[in-house]
Chain A
């Protein structure tokens, strides 16, 4: 499913466009849900692709103060934050969720960190 967006990723990152709808969540809860509700192959696809762009993405995002990130860079920033959650599935759990825990877990993030928490 594709939803037309008015904002696209910055130049040089168009290969990541396909991941925006699922992974560029606005807050921690949305990023957690993206990890928990994706299959391992979907997570692997995002993780591998994103990791390949991660260093150059960090260089670009770091050029902006956290409270003045332009909209296109913000999308990239959100994808980078989602990489942390994808990494939990790939590097730690070897599973999208904790296999022994009920889902949904009922955990609420009631205060996140700035920005995009």
Chain B
């Protein structure tokens, strides 16, 4: 007997590509290996789009700063939270002779001093100190502050735009996605475990690998297959796909039978340590247990966590088809960031293109701060299970790039669950060809 949501899911099969208004033709592979295409992406996409660079929690206090290379460009951005609390990015370049200003990757500073001749700036970019100032020629210090990079913050996400005068506002750029995703609760946003690696693949190979569910049965047989496929959906067909202008989202199937029974002795131990009604999970945070015991009422931290989780899960963008067979959602913010939302919180992938076949991956998996050893143990279980998952994906992505560069194939053949790949490459191609951002967004 199929329940209602399973029936809805079956009805969805085979028409996501059509629903998004996309053709079902083979897709050219040239954008994955061509140097010309890469140079166009740099100029037409990364130097014109609003780029998500970090969350505001990475700049927790007035005086917090981070330095971020904005690949594929040469820009080094110094992103600060000023003493007044405002987040602003600057070119990390001294006004005097153009030397690199801040050399640390992150920290806490009220002012920045260039090592070369000790010109000094406030963290709002204002130039406040010039040694031997009298020996310059009519130096107008108020005009010699750090050069700003257009910076906007939306729901805690910090976006930069490298164009001197961006053609569209962040609001216009986000389009329908803004209201759709507005107000999502970001659980544990100040406490991620962060993975990084440099991979010899085109950035879109990475983005593609993290947004299609078709590969799960093949390369994640032990790690993900039990939770994201089932006998009734062995190939992890998608629950849903949506397009929001240049952005997109897919909702991934989850096996409802899998979460109910832990078979691993260490997972059973983690469950036991957490106590009544609380179930450890793959995703490292406790679930709201059914039939909470009254003892839990005394645990205000736990109750707070449960109510935050309920608020998060009740947002319409989380499990958008309201399915009983829901695994997770993947929202791809064009061009290079994916925000994933699962049953216990969110995580985020960034794909920074370094060269046509080299990409810096940054994965941030957010978890609430552990209050005791039992919670910390569960989080380590989650991290320990993530590591081989990433290793499995690395291997496949590398084989993909090698195969593409070997040549012979000019096109790839995509199925319906790979619809997000098709949409992404179509949007990339449109941006590369469009004279203006307005035209690309139209």
Contact = CB atoms under 8 A, between A and B. Distances in A.
A109 interface: yes
B412 interface: no
Contact of A87 (B195, B198, B273, B384): B384
Interface in A13-53: 28, 31-32, 35, 51
Interface string B330-371: 000000000000000000000000000000000000010111
Interface string B373-387: 110110111011101
Contacts of A77: 373
Contacts of A113: 191, 193, 367, 370, 376, 379-380, 383
Nearest to B223: A92
Interface in A95-109: 97-98, 100-102, 105-109
A51 B265 CA distance: 8
Contacts of A92: 222-223, 264, 385, 388
Contact of B370 (A66, A97, A105): A66
B377 A81 contact: yes
Contacts of A115: 376
Interface in B190-248: 191-199, 219, 222-223
A66 B388 CA distance: 27
Interface residues of A, number: 42
Classify chain B's interface size: 35 or more
Interface stretch (B6-14, B73-81, B293-301, B389-397): B389-397
Point out which of A51, A61, A91, A101 has the most chain B C-beta atoms below 10 A from its C-beta: A101
A27 B132 CA distance: 48
B262 to A, nearest CB: 10
A106 B394 contact: yes
B372 interface: yes
Interface in A62-116: 62, 64-66, 77, 80-81, 83-85, 87-88, 91-94, 97-98, 100-102, 105-115
Contact of B197 (A61, A64, A108): A108
Contacts of B191: 113
Contact of B219 (A64, A85, A100): A100
Contacts of A102: 394-395, 398
Nearest to B388: A98
Contact of A101 (B194, B273, B392): B392
B180 to A, nearest CB: 30
A106 B397 CA distance: 14
Contact of B264 (A32, A65, A87): A87
B198 A106 contact: yes
Given A98-B395, A101-B391, A101-B392, A58 B273 contact: yes
Contacts of B266: 51, 54, 83-84, 87, 91
B269 interface: yes
A51 B270 CA distance: 12
Contacts of A31: 380, 384
A33 to B, nearest CB: 11
B377 A97 contact: no
B394 A109 contact: no
Contacts of B377: 58, 80-81, 84
B127 to A, nearest CB: 32
Contact of B391 (A98, A114, A117): A98
Given A55-B269, A85-B384, A87-B266, A117 B193 contact: yes
A107 B380 contact: no
A62 B272 CA distance: 13
A32 B387 CA distance: 8
A106 B197 CA distance: 6
Given A32-B387, A84-B266, A93-B388, A110 B380 contact: no
Contact of B222 (A61, A85, A94, A97): A94
B365 to A, nearest CB: 10
A110 B193 CA distance: 8
Contacts of A84: 266, 377, 380-381, 383-384
B373 A88 contact: no
Contacts of A61: 373
15 contacts: A28-B193, A81-B380, A84-B266, A92-B223, A97-B388, A100-B395, A101-B392, A106-B198, A107-B196, A107-B197, A107-B387, A107-B391, A113-B191, A113-B376, A113-B383
Interface of B: 191-199, 219, 222-223, 264-267, 269, 272-273, 367, 369-374, 376-377, 379-381, 383-385, 387-388, 390-392, 394-395, 398
Leading 4 A-B pairs by shortest Cβ distance? A87-B266, A111-B194, A101-B395, A101-B391
Given A107-B391, A111-B192, 18 more contacts: A32-B387, A54-B269, A65-B372, A83-B266, A87-B264, A88-B384, A93-B222, A98-B391, A101-B388, A101-B395, A102-B398, A105-B394, A106-B198, A107-B196, A107-B197, A110-B196, A113-B191, A114-B370
